Amino acid sequence: MRVLIAPDSFGGTLTATAAATAMASGWARARPDDELVLAPQSDGGPGFVDVLATRIGERHDEVVDGPLGGPVRAQWLRVGETAYIESAQACGLHLLPGPPDPETAVAAGSGGVGQLIRAAVAAGVTTVVVGLGGSCCTDGGRGLLERLGDGSGADAVRSAADRLAGVRLVAATDVENPLLGPVGAAAVFGPQKGADPATVGLLERRNAAWSAVLADAAGRSVADAAGAGAAGGIGAALLALGASRRSGAAVVATGTGQDELLAAADLVLTGEGRFDEQSLRGKLVVELARAARRHGVPAVVVAGQVRLDRETWAAAGLARVYSVAEYAGSVELAMSDADRQLRLLVAVVAGDAGKEYPTTRYR
């Protein structure tokens, strides 16, 4: 049997590449004769560049401003005249010196992302695709624009737009949230970045004032646009610069040749940190499962935590869903011993292969 192993990252525990390796190890323990094809995935967040680089492109190293101002090393990927940039490499949660808190939620900025775009444009690319997700900032992309352009406020927006003249800009995200309001960047994602209720309010007011600057400079409002709230509002900054929006998962699917891999597979094994209602709203694992079903291939999810009942995930077209936390006995062990617990559970999943989800299920 040929198994396509194509997980997303597992939150703060395993990158998509590390998760794919662990899954392959566990599967091979139970079914050593199966052919395993590793194709880690991303929806634009952490791992976006690494996942694409497993199949395409040339990496370029840069030193840019981290979310709190200190230098960090980041990479962007060149494929012909296109640059792929991952916002999390410059302002990801993992770059904070410790757990996020209200102070870091206010202080974190997106300047390094602007520096990565600037470096790619200086290298002569004509298209820049920016993967959005996993950020620790909620600055509406202000830092990005100030580093990409010159000056501050509306001057930075106009200067950044001038620098990108003739360059096609793409915002790659699977998050549809607007910049402001009850489902906006601060309200929904601020608490994940350490913001308490008072800080969420501060971030919302700050982004509301910034959105007026963006609208003035761009000649149109972008605050309510789908994806404007992605990566703490970096989406809004990119949209103000004229970016088109594309699914991050679709970008990766194209870059990794997902259709061809699915056509040759007998089973798809995917996964993510938490499989919940958000997963059903265009997140990678469900979109991959839908693509697999179009090819007549059953898809199995192994997630760190599972928050959906069987009826719900079966209706989404999944053949089987497994929880690492349930297998390990606790969320704490599933996270602290993520690699080993995932390998052990996938060995169990492989042992079930052919029993509960025959490979002819959809054919």
Q: Which structure tokens are listed for 82?
A: 């296109």
Q: Which structure tokens are listed for 196?
A: 């308490």
pLDDT at 361 over 50: no
Using one digit for the tens of pLDDT, what is the confidence trace for 234-276?
A: 999 999 999 999 999 899 999 989 999 999 999 999 999 999 9
The string of DSSP codes covering 44-111 is SSTTHHHHHHTTS-EEEEEEEE-TTSSEEEEEEEEETTEEEEETHHHHBGGGSSSS--HHHHHH---H
User: Could you tell me if 153 and 108 are in contact, meaning their C-beta atoms sit under 8 angstroms apart?
Assistant: no
Average pLDDT value for residue range 110-135: 97
Do residues 74 and 35 both lie within one domain? no
If 0-12 CB within 10 Å is exposed, 13-18 middle and 19+ buried, where does residue 297 land? buried
* Residue 360 maps to a domain: no
- pLDDT for 356 equals 61
What residue numbers bound the domain in which 100 lies? 48-249
Do residues 227 and 266 both lie within one domain? no
pLDDT at 63 over 60: yes
Do residues 206 and 59 both lie within one domain? yes
pLDDT at 286 over 80: yes
Using one digit for the tens of pLDDT, what is the confidence trace for 156-189?
A: 999 999 999 999 999 999 889 999 999 999 999 9
* Residue 238 maps to a domain: yes
Do residues 172 and 320 both lie within one domain? no
- pLDDT for 287 equals 87
- pLDDT for 360 equals 41
Q: Which of these three, 249, 281, 307, is where a domain ends?
A: 249
* Residue 357 maps to a domain: no
Phi, psi of 43 (to 5 degrees): -105, 15
Do residues 236 and 337 both lie within one domain? no
Do residues 244 and 184 both lie within one domain? yes
Do residues 23 and 124 both lie within one domain? no
* Residue 363 maps to a domain: no
* Residue 112 maps to a domain: yes
User: Which CATH number does the domain housing residue 181 bear?
Assistant: 3.90.1510.10
From first CA to last CA, the distance across the chain in angstroms is 15
* Residue 359 maps to a domain: no
Do residues 204 and 297 both lie within one domain? no
Residues forming beta bridges with residue 196, ordered by sequence position: none
Average pLDDT value for residue range 125-153: 96
Do residues 240 and 261 both lie within one domain? no
* Residue 17 maps to a domain: yes
Q: Which of these three, 249, 268, 287, is where a domain ends?
A: 249
Average pLDDT value for residue range 117-134: 97
- pLDDT for 318 equals 92
* pLDDT mean across residues, the chain: 94
Rounded CA-CA distance 362/179 in Å is: 40
Give 363's pLDDT tier (boundaries 50, 70, 90): very low
* Listed residue (220, 115, 134, 126) closest to 173, CA to CA: 134
Do residues 29 and 68 both lie within one domain? no
DSSP 8-state assignment for residue 147: H
Q: Are strands 71-79 and 82-86 parallel, antiparallel or unpaired?
A: antiparallel
Using one digit for the tens of pLDDT, what is the confidence trace for 179-233?
A: 999 999 999 999 999 999 999 999 999 999 999 999 999 999 999 999 999 999 9
Q: What is the reported pTM?
A: 0.87
